Amino acid sequence: MKVLLIDDHPLILSALKTVIEGLGDDVRVVGADSAAAARQALQAHTDFNLVLLDLQLGDASGFDVLDEFRAAYPALPVVVISASDRASDVIRSIDQGAMGFVPKRNSTELLAQALKLVMAGGIYVPPMSLGSEAAPAPVPAPPIRVAPGQTKLQQIQDQALASNYQSATGLEGLALTPRQTDVLALLLQGKPNKLIARELGVSVETIKDHVAAVLKALGVNSRTQAVLAVGQMVQRQPEMSFSTWRTASR
């Protein structure tokens, strides 16, 4: 596992590098203290498995870098590691294709757990107690009634998404078809319907139907909510990553 860690603060870069390399003997971390250095590293080496990106960089906006890397390296997962824990930053990162968001305020143990989850194919989003800053939903969605016994992703949905979130009991309760599972996997990679249709060899209209079925099964109204939903499910089932569930569901 080769990881590109991007952070412009030398002490934090060194500390995070130590933590990440401690996750396993096969983990190798390459540090970059700027967006320019990160670009050079990615151009020089094609064997990175994961990018960890700070939002606050001296020579570029982390969000701009996230957009750039998702476009240039669509198969390379990017996880945001930030001093911020604002709901708006979490939502924006996921919207732009990040496969996780880890606040730096997390303890070393939680950081390690989050990165292990991501490396195992899961999606990590912060626990329910996020910052209080609200971000309006890009497209307001009608509220969904939450059934008794189910939980809501509090700050993310109530404040940032401005719509209620219905969480499924777990990955095994989704009851998706194999094709819908494939669509969900590609949707979680941030791929648009056209690319999903091309990869699966079906029409865009068929993919739209599958996406609608997946969102309905998750009890959500948008792709962003779907990513957050799966992330929360995997956190409740640490023994089962999304990739493991996908294989078992076939």
CATH number at residue 51: 3.40.50.2300
In a domain, residue 134? The reply is no
Is residue 62 located within the same domain as residue 114?
A: yes
Is residue 17 located within the same domain as residue 102?
A: yes
In terms of pLDDT, which residue wins out, 138 or 71?
A: 71
pLDDT-based confidence at residue 215 (cuts at 50, 70, 90) = confident
Is residue 100 located within the same domain as residue 26?
A: yes
Is residue 114 located within the same domain as residue 189?
A: no
Contact indicator for 42, 88 with CB cutoff of 8 Å: no
For 60-66, what is the mean pLDDT? 93
Is residue 7 located within the same domain as residue 89?
A: yes
Residue 144 confidence (pLDDT) above 60 = no
d(CA 84, CA 126): 11
CATH number at 192 reads: 1.10.10.10
> Partners of 102 in the beta sheet?
81
* Whole-model pTM over 0.75: no
Residue 120 confidence (pLDDT) above 50 = yes
Q: Compute the Cα dihedral for 48, 54, 57, 62 and give only its sign.
A: positive
d(CA 68, CA 96): 10
Is residue 159 located within the same domain as residue 112?
A: no
Find the distance separating the first CA and the last CA of the chain, reported in whole Å. 27
- The total domain count for the chain is 2
- Given 93, 119, 145, the domain boundary residue is 119
Weakest-pLDDT range from 73-77, 94-98, 141-145, 226-230: 141-145
In a domain, residue 52? The reply is yes
Is residue 100 located within the same domain as residue 164?
A: no
For 48-73, what is the mean pLDDT? 92
In a domain, residue 145? The reply is no
In a domain, residue 136? The reply is no
- Given 119, 146, 163, the domain boundary residue is 119
Q: Compute the Cα dihedral for 62, 224, 112, 247 and give only its sign.
A: negative
Is residue 25 located within the same domain as residue 70?
A: yes
Is residue 15 located within the same domain as residue 92?
A: yes
- Given 119, 141, 166, the domain boundary residue is 119
Weakest-pLDDT range from 22-31, 52-61, 144-153, 241-250: 144-153
Is residue 158 located within the same domain as residue 110?
A: no
Provide the residue range defining the domain that includes 77: 2-119
How many Cβ atoms sit within 10 Å of the Cβ of residue 65?
22
Dihedral of CA atoms 103, 229, 87, 207 in degrees, nearest 10, equals 110
In a domain, residue 141? The reply is no
Is residue 15 located within the same domain as residue 96?
A: yes
Is residue 9 located within the same domain as residue 103?
A: yes
| Pair of tokens at residue 144 | 């969904």
